[in-house]
Structure 1
Amino acid sequence: MTHPDPVGERLAALPGWRGDTLRRVRALIRAALPGVQETVKWAKAGSPGVPVWEHAGIICTGESYARAVKLTFPRGAALPDPAGLFNASLDGKVRRAIDLHEGDTLDGAAFGDLIRAAAAANEQAQAARKRR
């Protein structure tokens, strides 16, 4: 029995470098955090929705724009980023993002560390909510 794969379908529908970039990001996320939950959220008329990766909350979203693929981390401001991957939404107090443009490369090891840190931050926040 096959299971629906809305993220795979969404990424397959993206042509060119944006689709290639998000498929690579997906592979890096899955390698860093086996068992990560994948969904497509915020679909509406005129928008097929946004791929979302979750573990005890949203880790990151993968949005596709004309000139960039944006990976947004809702708790990004609280995450260690020694490799300096975050390059967008730097003024916010909570979220951070990585904008990838055509031809950009992403440090897979550093990105995997960021994914694991985001998952750990979500687990800590979830545990804190349960203690209240």
Structure 2
Amino acid sequence: MTGGKTAKPALLSGGNPQIPKGFGDAPVRAWIAAAPGWKGDAARRLDALIERTVPGVKKAVKWNTPLYAVEDGAWFMSFHAFDRYLKVAFFRGAALDPLPPVGSKQKDVRYLHIHEDDTMDEPRLTDWIRQASRLPGERM
């Protein structure tokens, strides 16, 4: 701290905030607060949607990425900032119906990319979040 002000976290490539590894709501809130502009707004809305859809959801930041779980250490989704979009990962996304639109090199993972001018389809996201939270989580 300098002059009573807390330094803002560094931004990595794509505007992804560099947040220390941590468990619980506080590190995720810190990541969201540090995300620049529209990415922070989209992440805030996504986080609130996850909380409403999965009461008691467990949270963490690992690898500068917010993660969400029903069971400790068994993550069902995450998001990460890139230059032009927020990448939402569903770790068992290949089991969701309908499939999230973006494939992965990993057979079970599917993505949704949220761009600055996109309208967030909250009913579709809520359905995917609910489905994903009921599947076995990914241990990382």
Q: TM-score, normalised by structure 1?
A: 0.78
Give the structure with the larger strand fraction.
Answer: 2
1:92-126 residue CA offsets vs partner (Å, 9 max, x unmatched)? 52100000111101211221111111111127x9x
Checking the alignment, whether the CA contact within 8 Å between 1:50 and 1:62 is kept in structure 2 is yes
2:59 touches 2:66 (CA, 8 Å); kept in 1? yes
Query: Partners of 1:90 and 1:41 in 2: how far apart?
Result: 20
Instruction: Give the drift of 1:18.
Output: 0.6
Provide the rounded CA distance (Å) in 2 between the counterparts of 1:98 and 1:4. 23
Q: C-alpha displacement at 1:89, in angstroms?
A: 2.0
The CA deviation at 1:11 is 0.6
Letter in 2 for 1:38: K
- CA distance in 1: counterparts of 2:104 and 2:114, whole angstroms: 15
Q: Is 1:76 matched with 2:70?
A: no
Q: How many residues align?
A: 113
Q: Which residue of 2 aligns with 1:104?
A: 118
CA distance in 1, matches of 2:133, 2:52: 13
- Percent of paired sites with the same residue: 35
Provide structure 1 residue ranges, at least 5 long, that are not aligned to the other structure.
43-48, 126-132
Tell me, yes or no, if the aligned pair for 1:77 and 1:92 is still in contact at 8 Å. no
Structure richer in helix, relative to its length: 1
Deviations 1:31-53 (A, max 9, x none): 111110110012xxxxxx11111
How do residues 14-93 of structure 1 correspond to structure 2 at under 5 angstroms? 14-42=35-63, 49-56=64-71, 57-81=74-98, 86-89=100-103, 92-93=106-107
Q: Does the 8 Å contact 2:91/2:108 carry over to 1?
A: yes
Q: Contact 2:25 / 2:59 at 8 angstroms: preserved in 1?
A: no
TM superposition score normalised by structure 2: 0.73
User: 1:87 offset after TM fit, Å?
Assistant: 2.3
The match for 2:20 is none
Question: Contact 1:55–1:122 at 8 Å: present in 2 too?
Answer: no
CA–CA distance in structure 2, aligned partners of residues 118 and 21 of structure 1? 20
Counterpart of 2:93, as a letter, is: G
1:97, 1:4 → 2: CA distance?
23
